[in-house]
Amino acid sequence: MIRSLGQPGSEKLGSFEVTAGCKGYNSLVPAAGTKRQPEPPPAEHHRTPQVYTLEATGLLVIALLVLVLTLARYWHNIPWSAR
């Protein structure tokens, strides 16, 4: 409730006065420094999804296939005696 200047039970705020009814407007808002810490996850083992395991396996197979095909193509051009 906004009262005019000079009435009892109010505080000055610019050219208006704020009554006791408006004082608690932000009283339920927590302060910025009082963050609630997240609860730690339970101690159970978290499995890696099967999709990620298959993706990594597929990438390894492709890399091995590229290596084998490269060695097969350039086998005779590799100087094996140069050590």
Residue 71 included in any domain: yes
Strands lying side by side in the sheet with 16-19? 2-3, 16-19, 10-13
Residue 35 included in any domain: no
- Amino acid, res. 26: N
**pLDDT tens, 38-79?**
787 777 777 878 899 999 999 999 999 999 999 999 999 988
Residue 28 included in any domain: no
Residues 6+ apart with CB under 8 A from 9: 19, 20
- Split at pLDDT 50, 70, 90, the class of 16 is low
Residue 4 scores a pLDDT above 70:
no
Residue 63 included in any domain: yes
Task: Please tell me whether residue 15 adopts helix, strand or coil conformation.
Answer: coil
- Split at pLDDT 50, 70, 90, the class of 12 is low
Residue 14 included in any domain: no
pTM of the full structure:
0.43
Residue 22 included in any domain: no
Number of domains in the chain: 1
Q: Which of 21, 19, 22, 23 is nearest to 10 (CA)?
A: 19
Residue 67 included in any domain: yes
> Domain containing 74: what range?
49-78
